[in-house]
Amino acid sequence: MTYLKQAASAVALLATMTAPAFAEFTLSDRYTDADGDLIADIPADAADQIDPSTLIFAYTPVEDPAVYAEVWAGFLDHMSEVTGKKVQFFPVQSNAAQIEAMRAGRLHVAGFNTGSNPLAVACGGLRPFAMMAAADGSFGYEMEIISYPGSGIEKIEDIKGNKLAFTSETSNSGFKAPSAILKADFNMEAGRDFEPVFSGKHDNSILGVANKDYPAAAIANSVRARMVEREVVTDDQLTTLYTSQTFPTTGYGVAHNLTPELQAKVKEAFFSFDWEGSALEEEFGKSGEAQFIEISFKKDWEVIRKIDDANGVVYNCQ
């Protein structure tokens, strides 16, 4: 049964929940991967490389993009100083729109959420290189399935016959991981055992449960932690039914066809940024992050690619 479909212009993700053997991760035929690192190579021909006067940056829409324009402002000023370019914040409204923007050449630097990273790499030409981490280098978040006190849902099995809120089909913690875990560990499937509904974003799901609009939801606990710190919700409004293993968080990268020199400058901007006293520290410190660290898509996103395989996800880069 096909029940996962999301498209934005030329980019489409199709998932069928009839997963067989693990499939090899492959890039769109628009890209090459001569070194086998699973990400698009920088074009060898300089004529195929771009050096824009203004860099467009977008942060994954896990919450209202308007919240993050100010949060990222200081960092983008720093990137402008390091690269010598103007840098503009692009408030994307969906993962699919963000991927399509990079694929179409309208987005140059971005943070893609955990679940959409493989799609952005395969179809959008993203070259991820950084992730937020704690001061000690530890990183990641957990998927939680939450409810509210008095909902009548005390354990995962109680979700049967009820609604379960997901965020979007490209979200790891908001859809992919809970779908795989519910099927593998609890023999529960959307449409058969519970009614899936989609809120669009993690903050919508968390607020929906806190306000008793949804009886249960699958969310990223890093978003929950920041919302509690901002006093948008309180812990006593929510109960936790399930906590997953730790997953990598948002991966930051560049469009594959930026010049090698510009890509190096963008990376320098990430790793030279001083978090102390910054808006990034104020916001992301609420979920324990304090620096950018280098990542490997091939290694660090292996568990996410396996979850996609378990869900039978097939990337159609049309």
Q: What is the pLDDT of residues 148-159, one digit of tens each?
A: 999 999 999 999
Domain count, the chain: 2
Q: Are 249 and 301 in contact (CB under 8 A)?
A: no
Identify whether residues 209 and 76 lie together within a single domain: no
Per-residue pLDDT tens digits for 239-266? 999 999 999 999 999 999 999 999 999 9
pLDDT of residue 309: 87
Q: Is the pLDDT of residue 12 over 60?
A: no
For residue 277, with 0-12 CB atoms within 10 Å meaning exposed, 13-18 middle and 19 or more buried, which class applies? exposed
Question: Which pLDDT does position 10 carry in this prediction?
Answer: 26
Whether the per-residue pLDDT at 21 is higher than 60: the answer is no
Q: Which region holds residue 192: left if phi is over 0, alpha if psi is between -120 and 50, else beta?
A: alpha
Q: Taken in order 214, 220, 223, 226, is the CA torsion positive or negative?
A: positive
Which among 254, 10, 37 is positioned nearest to 123, based on CA atoms? 10
Q: Are residues 113 and 27 in the same domain?
A: yes
Whether residue 311 is predicted with pLDDT greater than 90 in this model: the reply is no
- Looking at the chain, the whole-number percentage of residues with pLDDT higher than 70 is 92
> CB within 8 A of 59, min separation 6: which ones?
65, 68, 72, 89, 92, 110, 111, 250
Tokens of residue 189, six digits = 């499937």
- With b for 16 or more beta-carbon neighbours within 10 A and e for fewer, the 81-91 pattern comes to ebbebebebbe
- pLDDT surpassing 80 at residue 27: yes
Residues 198 and 54 in one domain: no
How much is the pLDDT for 23?
A: 54
Q: Are residues 296 and 227 in the same domain?
A: no
For residue 285, what pLDDT is reported?
94
User: Is 107 found in the same domain as 19?
Assistant: yes
Question: What pairing do the DSSP bridges indicate for beta strands 217-220 and 141-147?
Answer: antiparallel
Tokens representing residue 160 in the block:
């049967």
Give the 3-state secondary structure of 58-117.
EECCCCCHHHHHHHHHHHHHHHHHHHCCEEEECCCCCHHHHHHHHHCCCCCEEEECCCCH
pLDDT of amino acid 214: 98
Q: Which domain holds residue 200?
A: 141-247
Q: Are residues 111 and 25 in the same domain?
A: yes
- Is the pTM value of this prediction over 0.85? no
Domain end marker among 191, 220, 247: 247
Distance of CA 318 to the CA centre of its chain: 21
* CATH code for the domain in which residue 164 is found: 3.40.190.10
Last residue of a domain, one of 247, 281, 306: 247
Residue type, 266: V
Alpha-carbon gap, residue 3 to 306, rounded angstroms = 19
pLDDT of residue 8: 30
For residues 157-183, b (16+ Cβ closer than 10 Å) or e, as one string? eebeebebbbbbbbbbbbbbbbbbbbb
DSSP assigned state of 38: S
131 and 171 housed in the same domain = no
Angstrom distance (rounded) from CA 262 to CA 76: 15
Instruction: Say whether both 13 and 130 belong to one domain.
Output: yes
Same domain, 154 and 292: no
- Contact predicate 147/273, CB 8 Å: no
Examine the fold and report which residue of 247, 263, 294 is the final residue of a domain before the chain moves on.
Answer: 247
Contact 167, 208 (CB under 8 A): no
Lowest mean pLDDT among 62-76, 154-168, 214-228: 62-76
Measured CA to CA, the distance from residue 2 to residue 34 in angstroms comes to 33
Q: What is the pLDDT of residue 4?
A: 27
Q: Are residues 284 and 188 in the same domain?
A: no
Q: What is the per-residue pLDDT for 134?
A: 96
Residues 23 and 97 occupy one common structural domain: yes
- Assess whether pLDDT exceeds 70 at residue 7: no
- Is the same domain home to 212 and 201? yes
Query: What span, in angstroms and rounded, lies between the C-alpha atoms of 302 and 295?
Result: 12
Average pLDDT of the chain is 90
* pLDDT for residue 219: 97
The CA distance from 140 to 128, in Å, is 16
